A and B are shown apart, each in its own frame.
Chain A
Amino acid sequence: MPAFPVAAREALADTQLRRNLAHATGTIRAKRAAVVGEVAEWEELRLAGAAIKDNTLRRLDEHLLTLEAALQARGATVHWARDAREACAVVAGIARDHGVDEVVKVKSMATQEIGLNEVLAEHGVTAWETDLAELIVQLGDDLPSHILVPAIHRNRAEIREIFRREMGAAGRPAPDGLTDDPAELAGAARLHLREKFLRAKMAVSGANFAVAESGTLVVVESEGNGRMCLTLPEVLVSVVGIEKVVPTWSDLDVFLQLLPRSSTGERMNPYTSAWSGVTPGDGPQEMHVVLLDNGRTRALADEVGRQALRCIRCSACLNVCPVYERTGGHAYGSVYPGPIGAILNPLLKGVGVDEQTDSLPYASSLCGACFEACPVRIDIPEVLVHLRSQVVDAHRGGAPKPEAVAMKAASWVLSDARRLGLAERGLGVANRALTRFGRRVLPGGRRALSRLPWPGSLWTDARDLPAPPRESFRSWWRKEKR
């Protein structure tokens, strides 16, 4: 994947994408604001959510062992996976042991993160995505662009084309004369997927929460595809990030209030499934849970970044982010886009490893809207700044970057009053020269320069540069004293 600024430039040029995104994020922001406004104790719920998650993370080893024991006591098999490769191997192994060549899947960030579908395909197992948006993405051979609504970048006309073109090759074809009415499109997906639900022997899911004390897994969804996968097949494998643990069943009363209102802007999502191991005569009679690290312990070790592991994947931060709204999710080059992706990716992968990951902490205006929206109060701007310093540290040595040279020069000037005075005298000249470059007035009346020649253009391409004052403070002071 290219670094964020390169990918973002491409996305910004796509006017269809920007229209789709602006409509979608605007709609969901309004819905969320309305239902959050109904809850008088919202701020307290946020504090409770953050406190429960922090308490859990501080004793994560103990809670994981409790979870493991509770799951085993209720008939589930527990697997541990250090990384994506190991987790995929566990799932592929279970598929092989049962001789299945297809699995149905509940939408899950963890299985996307580990690239499970691709690995299963290498083992001759087809993984069918059953969430409508994931189906659109899968049939369109596309990438998800939003945590909650992965096909947010597609409009109804595009979805109709994908269904008509691709459904036949994957199973039941789209009905003749399919229009772009959302109800008809959903109906086509219902028919297409039902045959897969009814014949599937094995399902793969993630989990929104894993209750340590009772060994309960919880999946929150809307369409019923989750319920289909979680109850109809004989074998169920759930891939669960180790940060999904909550200590007790009663802790869910916080998160089942915070999550639906923050994510879809509903008082409650249509379906929530909770199950503790195997229930005789009801649902899958063989259950596996894969506890996944894949960088989470690295994030845990970062004292400032640790709070990112509170994330409940609601995507509220995406929908309020001015950067996300204009670039969309693909520019972030990860299954975790938007503000949370800008911190989660570097925390999980580490900084200084690749240029793309290192570019993400800069994919923000630090406006703070994400922190305001976050139901578990992750201070995303704080972590962004912290990660920027790590990126800078990781790139020390070698040829200095132009900013570093400029900053060093500025520091030399600013550290001495006489030098500063001389520099300021030059300002008048510079100011007259600079006024030639795309002067405009910012809201509030400040003047700004919007287009500098290279190398200044590297800065002003994406930002306005406040114009220097017409006169320096020192010269004004000398004049006024008289």
Chain B
Amino acid sequence: MTAREEILAAVRGALRDADRTEAAVPRGYRSATAPDVVELFAERVVDYRAGLTRCTTAELPGAIRAALGAARKVLVPEGFPVEIDGTAAAEAGTTAELAAFDAVVTTAALGIATTGTLVLDHGPGQGRRALSLVPDIHVCVLREDRIVPGVPQAVAALDPARPQTWISGPSATSDIELTRVEGVHGPRTLHVIVVAGPPSGRV
């Protein structure tokens, strides 16, 4: 017997006398909402020691420039809706080339208010997964109407066929005496820009 056949046979043997009817799963948690999702999201992002700017669509280019600070080489993935001065690259070829960038600017698929989480599904404006990982600064632009109250609403809105990266604050470790230290392998600085404005506007 192959390993596959043997494992499946062992599973069936183990469950020979088991009742296979499905028990009901309580799902009341899915209706829980937050009163003001944008306020809560902003508060939780700051709680994670990420930078936060709130602005209008018109103020966005200035807000991005301010968030980038002294960063020189900035990566802006294809499909990012705002022109950023002095940056050209939409893609880096090799991993080593990618490591030469100081910062990356992306959009996100959605934000989760109760946890202060950004979710990237790596569509246009977000780049492939490595782009928001290797440079040391990540500036992420999220429109207010992309913020959902909680994890259940986020899971429901996302498509598992796309790769996803959920980001809550900068890279961090608590492995040394459970003291939280920001910045191990991912970006050491995360700056979130929340954009207010008409849902029809880009970004």
Contacts and interface: CB of A to CB of B under 8 A. Distances in A.
A264 B11 contact: no
A193 to B, nearest CB: 7
B125 interface: no
B176 interface: yes
B160 to A, nearest CB: 4
Interface string B165-177: 1111111111111
Interface stretch (A119-127, A179-187, A382-390, A427-435): A179-187
A247 B73 CA distance: 44
Contacts of B161: 214, 276
Nearest to B32: A41
A270 B170 contact: yes
B44 A283 contact: no
A186 B130 contact: no
A149 B174 contact: yes
A207 to B, nearest CB: 14
Contacts of B28: 41, 44
Contact of A64 (B11, B95, B160): B11
A48 B173 CA distance: 30
Interface in B1-52: 2-4, 6-8, 10-15, 17-20, 22-30, 32, 44, 48
Contacts of B27: 48
B164 interface: yes
A51 B174 contact: no
A82 B24 CA distance: 32
Interface stretch (B59-67, B113-121, B194-202): B113-121
A283 B3 contact: no
Given A214-B160, A271-B166, A224 B184 contact: yes
A367 interface: no
B178 A149 contact: yes
Most chain B Cβ neighbours within 10 Å, of A55, A58, A268:
A268
Contact of A275 (B163, B168, B171): B163
A183 B172 contact: no
Nearest to B50: A270
A66 interface: no
Contacts of A24: 177-178
A264 B174 CA distance: 9
A116 to B, nearest CB: 17
A300 interface: yes
A139 interface: no
Given A214-B160, A224-B185, A249-B160, A300 B14 contact: yes
A463 interface: no
A300 B8 contact: no
A252 B155 contact: yes
Contacts of B169: 270
Interface string A217-229: 0000011110110
Contact of B133 (A23, A151, A228, A257): A228
A77 interface: no
A370 interface: no
A227 B22 CA distance: 35
Nearest to B178: A27
Interface residues of A, number: 91
A55 B22 contact: yes
A286 interface: no
Given A253-B151, A293-B10, A224 B165 contact: no
B75 to A, nearest CB: 15
B11 A242 contact: yes
Contact of A273 (B165, B173, B181): B165
Say what secondary structure dominates the interface of chain B: loop
Contacts of A52: 25
A58 B19 CA distance: 7
A227 B172 contact: no
B7 A186 contact: no
Given A59-B20, A151-B175, A300-B11, A282 B128 contact: yes
Contact of B115 (A264, A268, A276): A268
A267 B45 CA distance: 11
A58 B15 contact: yes
Given A198-B99, A223-B185, A253-B155, A297 B10 contact: yes
Contact of A186 (B11, B13, B155, B184): B184
Interface in A138-152: 149, 151-152
B177 A186 contact: no
B164 A273 contact: yes
A283 to B, nearest CB: 6
Contacts of A257: 29, 150-152
B175 A136 contact: yes
A48 B44 CA distance: 26
Interface of A: 20, 23-24, 27-28, 40-41, 44-45, 47-48, 51-52, 54-55, 58-61, 64-65, 79-82, 86, 130-133, 136, 149, 151-152, 155-156, 159, 182-183, 185-187, 189-190, 193-194, 197-198, 211, 214, 216, 222-225, 227-228, 230-232, 242, 249-250, 252-254, 256-257, 264, 266-276, 279, 281-283, 291, 293, 297-298, 300-301, 303
30 contacts: A28-B178, A44-B29, A45-B29, A48-B26, A51-B24, A55-B22, A59-B20, A60-B15, A182-B176, A190-B183, A190-B184, A223-B186, A224-B184, A227-B133, A227-B165, A227-B186, A228-B133, A228-B186, A253-B154, A253-B156, A254-B29, A268-B112, A268-B168, A270-B168, A270-B171, A271-B168, A273-B166, A275-B164, A281-B128, A300-B11
Given A183-B181, A283-B129, 9 more contacts: A23-B178, A41-B29, A156-B176, A190-B183, A198-B96, A223-B173, A266-B168, A282-B129, A283-B128
- Those 4 A-B pairs whose CB atoms lie nearest each other, nearest first: A224-B186, A301-B14, A297-B10, A224-B185
